[in-house]
Amino acid sequence: MAKIILYCSASSGQRDNLITAAQALFENELVNGIGLQLVLMTPLEDDPLAVPPDSAFIANLDMALEIALPYGQPLKPCLEDIQLALAPVMSCMDMDNSYVLQAYQRAFKETGPKALRYHYLMRRREDFSRTDYLDYYVHHHYHFGMDTPLVDYYQTYICNPSSMELAALLGVKAVVADNISELHLDSMEAFLGSNVMMDLGPAAAEDEAKFVDRENSTSFTLQVLQQTA
């Protein structure tokens, strides 16, 4: 599934207006005409999974908006309409602290909509080519996500050249990362109360150290406000 994710920082005093403008997209004729799937999210307060906790990216994040296309529909012909539909949202954004990416997603474990979404923006180590990195991530490291209880698991692969083009079009910054590891969950308390953090977490971190630039990767949790049915 091809998709765009906007990580939005609001202009001063515009956070509520930013979210209201994003909510209006669900009734937008252009959006509905294209058949876009939307997910509107805000950062979870007191997020125990935020790393690094003092990240400027996380501190400036007021809202995330995921825009996904139907399977088999190319994004490029839709960009002008998407840009037009986003205009009210963009007018409320702090463009210098807002980011966008273009990517495609693969579902590894999917059971239905969840209240929370954990995003881990992962960057590869410099000694790994993108091909080698994705080969290890997709064919070996994935089992940690599959073995994690109480979550749905997705991998989102970022196209950096396309992200840079889209960022230039919208006037924001491009996310610098190779992929997003996504965990969708219903309850942070249930997730943290399971054995995942004690047993699986350290093993996953040890394996990541083999191919991930962990110091320059970022993770955080978003709560879903609204999504397309």
At residue 104's C-alpha, the angle toward residues 114 and 217, to 5°, is 75
Percent of the residues in the chain that have a pLDDT greater than 70, as a whole number: 99
pLDDT tens readout for residues 157-171: 999 999 999 999 999
Per-residue model confidence (pLDDT) at position 103: 96
* pLDDT bracket for residue 105 (50, 70, 90): very high
Mean pLDDT of 143-155: 93
pLDDT at position 196 over 90: no
pTM of the model: 0.95
SS (H, E, C) 62-89: CEEEEEECCCCCCCHHHHHHHHHHHHHH
In 56-187, alpha helices (H) = 56-59, 79-90, 130-136, 142-147, 160-170
Q: How far apart are CA 212 and CA 221, in angstroms?
A: 20
pLDDT at position 74 over 90: no
Per DSSP, 131 falls in state H
pLDDT tens readout for residues 133-148: 999 999 999 999 999 9
Mean pLDDT of 181-197: 88
| Four-point Cα dihedral 221, 177, 88, 118, nearest 10 | -10
Per-residue model confidence (pLDDT) at position 73: 86
Q: How far apart are CA 165 and CA 44, in angstroms?
A: 29
Answer yes or no: are the C-beta atoms of 4 and 82 closer than 8 Å. Answer: yes
Who wins on pLDDT, 72 or 51? 51
Q: What is the mean pLDDT of the chain?
A: 94
Domains (range + CATH), the chain: 2-227 (3.30.70.100)
pLDDT tens readout for residues 26-57: 999 978 888 899 999 999 999 999 999 899 99
Mean pLDDT of 92-121: 97
Q: How far apart are CA 16 and CA 48, in angstroms?
A: 25
Tokens describing residue 95: 């463009």
Per-residue model confidence (pLDDT) at position 99: 98
